[in-house]
Structure 1
Amino acid sequence: MPFFAVPFIHRGLRPLFRVALCSQLLWPALAFADTPYDQMVRDARAGNYTPALTVLRQVPANQATTSQISDHLQIAGWAGLDAEVVQVYETQGRNRVLPVQALTATARAYRNLKRWDSATELYNKALALEPQNPDLQLGLAMTQADAGKPEEAVIRTKALVAAKPDDPSRRLALAYALTRAGKNYDALFEYDQAFIRAGSKPDVAREYVYALQRVRLPEPALRLARQRPGLIDPVQLRRLEGDVAAEQVRMAEFATRSEKERFDIADRALKTYDQLLATWTPDPQAKDDVTRWRIDRLGALKARARTAQVISEYQNLIGEGVNIPTYAMRWVAAAHLDQRQPEIAADQYRQVLAAPDRDPADYVEDTTALYYALQESGHEDEARTVAENLAKSQNPRVELKGLPFGNPNDSWMDAQQLAAQAETTGSDLKSGEQRLQTLVDQAPGNTGLRVAQADLYRDRAWPRRSESELKEVEALTPRDIGLEVAQGHTAMDLQEWRQMDELADDAMARFPDNRQVQRLDRLRDVHDMAELRVQTYGGKANGGGGNAGAVAGSRDFGIETLLYSPPIDEDWRVFTGVGYAIGDFQEGTGTDRWERLGVDRRTRDMTLEAEVSNHDFGYGAKQGARVAITRDINDNWQYGGSFAYLSANTPLRALNSDVTSNGGSGFIRWRANESREWKLSVSPSHFSDGNNRVEALLTGREGVYSTPKVQVDLGLEVGASHNSESEDVPYFNPKSDFSVLPTVNVNHVLYHRYETTWSQQFQAGAGTYSQRDYSTGGIGLLGYGQRYSWNDVFEVGGLFSVINRPYDGNRETDLRLLVDLTYRF
């Protein structure tokens, strides 16, 4: 929290109590009662102390009477000459029988000189003479408070207030004792009572201002000070103005109905700081205050989401040798995290958490921030450890006096939620799901938990389940920004583009500087972009018994470029593309050039695509067409189909002999979650040479190991085909065949930072291939690839593979390179 300057609690009290404690002063008879001396005494009472003191100082110590010593002690006390009072008492009055007024003046002098024991001794001596004297009781109570015995002072002054509750001086004394006891809010009540009864007195009003300041109510304190010019000195006034700005900084960090409200508060604080700095920076005596304002101003800048300026001003302060306090380092660390400098933020959060003056109330928040800094800097294991340790450090309930079972601890729930989410970001989604579900069962009304659970469902490829969960949360807190952002992402996964736009627009209007909101808006912008896709491949086949490249050719190459328009009316896109393929066969070199023009429509539960095409493979231009549809039944089941006239799946070797095909395909897919799925597809086709082919393919994937950097999947491909015409056709056309190929696929993340990812892939497989009229042979597969994505708009990847397998009983080794690129603009 911003530092609040606290005035010296003695300031303003001494003049008041000097008057109060001397109000009953009685003058004894003087040794020389001549008229000039009487006048000097009267002048001393009026504030002209010098004449009387001059005369009294000239009286020899061995000739001074008790009355003269008493006069000397009292007048010197009025003059504020505490050292002289003590010196006269110790050299001349200690062994005299002095009146109560002289003892009181001496006790007060000892107290002002912080000689508490001597002051206490004299107050008790005076009270022995006048035990009911309230002024003596007040003086002793204040001495006890100053001497480190505030509880005794509180007991004494409470008794005085109870005896005369309307006496403002007694209220002030009790407030003073309570302040010394650290009970500032109780003290404020007494100062308030004194102000009600004697608020017109400057000393009372001044102490009330300071009391308000001590309990962090600088705004009413400043208002009262401004209503009465001269009530406090300019130094204290400027510090009050700084405290008001610091209070606004603290308020700007509280949750409000909109980001704009927080920004308005922060803007007021920044305006105040700018005025103070412009006024007082040139004054060397205000250097300490100016430095404190510059530090506290960091909080206003951070609340205003001007985090780059926070870092810049922090660096300026460090360059000037300023020691940044812990409460401000929290703002600096948050600024570095916001500016995507997580390594610096992590070091600074560690510094904050290790600081001896850290605020325990901020421990969970700061540890959570450290977790995110570590997570974003690539230290996932350390981040997870931090989250687990935080969860262990918090108790489920807060013990309160009078409540045998305490109250639920919100910090415990926050820490448990963080630990559960740490498991999901560590790729242990199943454990994270179970842990979150347990927490939701305990606190079904916790919006943050329910939103986190919905986000987990989306990560597990269950967007409809996520949507249902968020709808239930919406009934509890319909305007929660976390809820709205999660709904936006879910709408995107469900291809609910209009809903996504409404959510993104509303979130941006309410919280334009929220990073989560900005992320949602960025993904919406990417969706609205045009898209370029490029795919290319090349291969070389060896072996094959003189018929190398029985399927794709001994050397082959192909490339296709597709360009999609930005969305039209949200759901529609127009696309166009061109492609080229070439391959070397026994019959000669085959080529195919094609152009495509089509449209796709993406709506909830359905993706539809239709196109027309033109092909030129050496026998004149020929037109083709294709339609395809994909439908989602729910989060687990999906089916689809397609039909093509002059199918793009026709082998190039067949086209080289002017054999075309028409065909279709149907599939059904079951997906349990993000790491397990199976798909079965059946693809019949009819060739222009009369051949009818039916192909079936079953593919499956099972995740077996996952960390933030490494994912391992087991795969399986089971394929079969049948052709009605297997002889006298110019392309590979087995009567029937069957293959089984288990694979191991490894994805290793080499670098990940926000929207930039670089990874490498390894692939290995070994299986069998059986072809009718030929013996069964083995299949071996090895592959290596890399993939790079940047800023949501660019992705490129390549895969080089080697596969060895038989065709028509002849073993062939095929080297292939596949490259794909996607760019949105």
Structure 2
Amino acid sequence: MPRTVGPFVQRGLRPLFRVALCSQLCWPMLAFADTAYDQMVIDARAGHYTPALTALRQVPAGQASAAQISDHLQIASWAGLDAEVVQVYETQGRYRDLPVQALSATARAYRNLKRWDAATELYRQALAIDPRNPDLQLGLVLTQADAGKPDEAVSRAKALVAAKPDDPMRRLALGYALTRANSPHEALFEYDQAFTRAGNKPEVAREYVIALQRAQLPEPALRLARLQPGLIDPGMRRRLEGDVAAERVRLTDMASRSETERFIIADRALADYDKLLTTWSPVAEAHDDVLRWRIDRLGALNARARRAEVIAEYQKLIAEGVSIPTYALRWVASSYLEQREPEIAVDLYRRVLTAPDADPADRFEDSTALYYALLESEKSEEARVLAEDLAKAQPPRVELKGLPIGNPNDEWMDAQQLAAQAGTYGADLPSAEARLDTLVNQGPGNIGLRLAQADLYQARDWPRRSESLLKEVEATTPRDRGLEVAQARAAMDLQEWRQMDALVDDVVARYPENAHVKRLQRQREVHDMAELRIEAYTGKSYGGGSGDAGAVTGSRDFGIETLLYSPPINEDWRLFGGAGYATGDFEEGTGHHRWQRLGVERRTRDMTLEAEVSNHSYGSGDKQGARLAVARDINDHWQYGGSLDYLSAETPLRALNSGIRANGGSGFVRWRANESREWRLAVSPSHFSDGNNRLEAVVTGREGIYSAPRLQVELGLEVATSRNSGSNEVPYFNPKSDFTVMPTVNANHVLYRRYETTWSQQFQVGAGTYSQRDHSTGAMGLLGYGQRFIWNDVLEAGAALSWLNRPYDGDRESDLRLLVDLTYRF
């Protein structure tokens, strides 16, 4: 919660009390003054103290009468000369028989000088003479309150109020005692009662204003002060105006009645601060207040999502040597986190948590904020440890007096959710799933838990399961911001483009400043961009039956293809076109293949369809080709698809170089359990123009065996077989039948990651066997290394170098290959 500078410092005896307690000290009025001394006393009553005091000071101490000492004590008290009152009493009057008025004046002087015990003793001495004197009773109440005995003061004041409840002075005294007893709201009641009975008196109204301000009700206090000009001094009014603005900053953290009103209070607070700073910045005496306003204004800027201004003003204050209080550091840390500077936010949140004046009530919220700052700083292990510690530190129930089993602790549930989500962000998705399932069973109506569960399902590549869960949540809170953001992401995964647009438009219109909404809007913008894809390869083969000419790819082979997709048309459609070139040296000579492609792609829920026509140049003349491909999802786990190709792009370049073309197709079925387990079967028949019919089948699979935030390791397996009906005496590799088994270990290591920018490296090691009809089974070995760079959602580029050693037609061959790809959206 935002905080402000505390209420006004508790004062000593206020002017109203002074007037009240002097009421019994005035001598009886004389109708006539017969002497000069009497005239000086009369003048002193009128406020001219100097003549009487001068005369009394000239009386030798040993010759002063009790009456003269009494006069001296009272007149010096009227003049506010507390030290002189005490000095006269201690040197001349302590052992004299003084009247009540003199004792009361001296007691008041002792109190003003904060000599509480001496003041209490004199008040009690005076009360022994006049026990029913209400002013003496009030004076004793005030003294006890100031002397650190508020309970005694409250008890005495309550007795006075009970005896005469309509006396505003007694109500004020009780309010003062209650204030000293740290009961500001009970005190406010007494001040309110005094104001109700004597609100026309400026002294009473002033005390009421101060009580309102002390009870953290600055707005009604300021309103009352404005109704009675001159009631409070300009400095006090200035501070009240600052307190009103600070109160509005506190209110910005509370839920508004509607979305459209959530910034109204923050805007009012900012308007207040702008006016105050403009008015008072040039005034030297307002320097401390101006600094306080500048600090508190950070909260209004933060609530208004003006994060850059928060940081700029914070840096100015730091440069000026201003010490920023803990409550304001929380706003600054939040702004740095929103501005994607999480490392600074981490340091600030740690300062907040370890500050001596840190509020224990804010510890959980601040720790949660630190968790996200650590997460965005790519310190996911530290974040997970923090989340686990929070989960262990929170008790499941809050013990309350009178309730044997207590009440459920909301912070316990929030901490458990945070720890479960830490598994999601820490690449431990199975553990996170189990923990969230348990929590949802304990709190099925908790919207935050259900949304976290839906996010986990998306991370596990289960968008339909996520969508179904979000539909259940929608029945409870149909326009919750977090719900709509999650639904939009699920719609994007499911290629529900219109639904995605509707959801994104809605949350952007309602919460344009929210970081999650901004991220969603960015993803939609990227989806709506054109897309350029470039793929290139080159390689060199060693060994084999043809020397340096590889049996399949030739030697010094090179290929490149560029493909350009249009932005989405009517949501579902994209046009694409591209061109490519491939060349390689073979035993028969150098082969060249140039092609151009033009097609259309349609992406809808559960289906992606592509159709294209192409032109191919190889050998002599141009040939036209065509292709139709479809992929269809059954559910989150199963997918099937296929393609038909006329003049297939998979035709070996060596065959094309000899004028042999191929038509064919393929079909596949894929099963995916989750993000780390997948198997795929593909069958591809083809017919070559030389009469050869080929049938290929490939089973590929992967299984994750280790996962950490920066490292993932998978086992891979490829099992392939093929059969050809034609002779193997053709100018391209054409075994009668073969069988390949290649297990691999694949590792992906993140070198650098910051938000949408990632730089990673990949390792691949494989060892298997290759069996070919009419030839013996031989070993295969594979080594690979690559790097990949992703930047700002629009650029992805990678390069991979691999070495493969395997036999072809009984001859061992090594192939060194470099693959480069780039995708750019604009």
Aligned to 1:683: 684
Aligned to 1:330: 330
Inter-partner Cα distance in structure 2 for 1:722 and 1:715:
24
Letter in 2 for 1:179: T
Contact 2:252 2:265 in 1 (8 A): yes
Shifted more, 406-415 versus 106-115: the winner is: 406-415
Inter-partner Cα distance in structure 2 for 1:475 and 1:153:
59
Letter in 1 for 2:570: D
Inter-partner Cα distance in structure 2 for 1:704 and 1:422:
20
Taking only the aligned residue pairs, the percentage that are identical comes to 75
Aligned to 2:131: 131
Contact 2:25 2:105 in 1 (8 A): no
Deviations 1:420-469 (A, max 9, x none): 11121110111111112222222222222211111111001011111112
Aligned to 1:770: 771
Contact 2:5 2:292 in 1 (8 A): no
Contact 2:336 2:342 in 1 (8 A): yes
Inter-partner Cα distance in structure 2 for 1:45 and 1:404:
67
How far is the alpha carbon of 1:397 from its aligned partner? 2.1
Deviations 1:29-66 (A, max 9, x none): 99x97355445444433433334434433433333332
Residue 175 in structure 1 maps to residue 175 in structure 2: yes
Contact 2:496 2:604 in 1 (8 A): yes
Aligned to 2:256: 256
Aligned to 1:415: 415
SS in 2 for 1:427: coil
Shifted more, 67-76 versus 454-463: the winner is: 67-76
Structure 1 pair 745/78, CA: closer, same or farther in 2 (3 Å)? same
Deviations 1:235-282 (A, max 9, x none): 111111111111222222334366653433222222222222222121
Equivalence map 1:615-634=2 (5 Å): 615-634=616-635
Aligned to 2:228: 228
How far is the alpha carbon of 1:356 from its aligned partner? 0.2
How far is the alpha carbon of 1:165 from its aligned partner? 2.0
Letter in 1 for 2:243: D
Letter in 2 for 1:797: G
Equivalence map 1:361-372=2 (5 Å): 361-372=361-372
How far is the alpha carbon of 1:122 from its aligned partner? 0.9
Equivalence map 1:434-445=2 (5 Å): 434-445=434-445
How far is the alpha carbon of 1:545 from its aligned partner? 1.8
Residue 447 in structure 1 maps to residue 441 in structure 2: no
Aligned to 2:105: 105
Letter in 2 for 1:88: V
Letter in 1 for 2:179: T
Aligned to 2:637: 636
How far is the alpha carbon of 1:775 from its aligned partner? 0.8
Residue 748 in structure 1 maps to residue 745 in structure 2: no
How far is the alpha carbon of 1:403 from its aligned partner? 2.3
Aligned to 1:194: 194
Shifted more, 607-616 versus 328-337: the winner is: 328-337
Aligned to 1:782: 783
Aligned to 2:147: 147
SS in 1 for 2:285: helix
Inter-partner Cα distance in structure 2 for 1:815 and 1:259:
61
How far is the alpha carbon of 1:409 from its aligned partner? 2.0
Aligned to 2:712: 711
Shifted more, 453-462 versus 175-184: the winner is: 175-184
Inter-partner Cα distance in structure 1 for 2:680 and 2:478:
39
Aligned to 2:736: 735
How far is the alpha carbon of 1:580 from its aligned partner? 0.8
Structure 1 pair 682/29, CA: closer, same or farther in 2 (3 Å)? closer
Structure 1 pair 257/620, CA: closer, same or farther in 2 (3 Å)? farther
Letter in 1 for 2:85: V
Inter-partner Cα distance in structure 2 for 1:381 and 1:118:
64
Residue 801 in structure 1 maps to residue 802 in structure 2: yes
Inter-partner Cα distance in structure 2 for 1:28 and 1:281:
52
Aligned to 1:613: 614
How far is the alpha carbon of 1:607 from its aligned partner? 0.8
Aligned to 1:355: 355
Inter-partner Cα distance in structure 1 for 2:39 and 2:499:
93
Inter-partner Cα distance in structure 2 for 1:718 and 1:577:
32
Aligned to 1:545: 545
Contact 1:5 1:243 in 2 (8 A): no
How far is the alpha carbon of 1:526 from its aligned partner? 0.2
Residue 467 in structure 1 maps to residue 467 in structure 2: yes
How far is the alpha carbon of 1:298 from its aligned partner? 1.7
Contact 2:625 2:645 in 1 (8 A): yes
Inter-partner Cα distance in structure 2 for 1:103 and 1:611:
110
Aligned to 2:817: 816
Contact 1:259 1:512 in 2 (8 A): no
Contact 2:694 2:724 in 1 (8 A): yes
SS in 2 for 1:172: helix
Inter-partner Cα distance in structure 2 for 1:257 and 1:575:
49
Contact 2:26 2:45 in 1 (8 A): no
Deviations 1:491-527 (A, max 9, x none): 1111111111111111111111111110000000000
Deviations 1:609-668 (A, max 9, x none): 111111111232111111111111111111111111111111111112222121111111
Inter-partner Cα distance in structure 2 for 1:392 and 1:64:
78
Inter-partner Cα distance in structure 1 for 2:227 and 2:676:
70
TM-score (norm 2): 0.97
Inter-partner Cα distance in structure 2 for 1:618 and 1:303:
70
Letter in 1 for 2:162: A
How far is the alpha carbon of 1:361 from its aligned partner? 2.1
Residue 286 in structure 1 maps to residue 286 in structure 2: yes
Equivalence map 1:210-249=2 (5 Å): 210-249=210-249
Letter in 2 for 1:819: V
Contact 1:28 1:67 in 2 (8 A): no
Aligned to 1:72: 72
Inter-partner Cα distance in structure 2 for 1:29 and 1:507:
80
Aligned to 1:397: 397
Contact 1:749 1:759 in 2 (8 A): yes
Aligned to 2:302: 302
Contact 1:262 1:303 in 2 (8 A): no
Inter-partner Cα distance in structure 2 for 1:215 and 1:414:
32
Aligned to 2:492: 492
Letter in 1 for 2:93: G
List runs of 5+ in structure 1 lacking aligned partners: none
Letter in 1 for 2:797: V
Structure 1 pair 117/573, CA: closer, same or farther in 2 (3 Å)? same
Equivalence map 1:45-60=2 (5 Å): 45-60=45-60
List runs of 5+ in structure 2 lacking aligned partners: none
Shifted more, 706-715 versus 654-663: the winner is: 654-663
Aligned to 1:702: 703
Aligned to 1:648: 649
Letter in 2 for 1:190: E
Equivalence map 1:484-633=2 (5 Å): 484-546=484-546, 548-633=549-634
SS in 2 for 1:512: coil
Contact 1:4 1:216 in 2 (8 A): no
Contact 1:759 1:786 in 2 (8 A): yes
Inter-partner Cα distance in structure 1 for 2:385 and 2:40:
80
Inter-partner Cα distance in structure 1 for 2:40 and 2:389:
77
Deviations 1:141-178 (A, max 9, x none): 11111011112211221222222222211111111111
SS in 2 for 1:62: helix
RMSD between aligned alpha carbons? Answer: 1.9
Aligned to 1:480: 480
Contact 1:466 1:490 in 2 (8 A): yes
Structure 1 pair 648/250, CA: closer, same or farther in 2 (3 Å)? same
How far is the alpha carbon of 1:4 from its aligned partner? 2.7
Inter-partner Cα distance in structure 1 for 2:540 and 2:311:
56
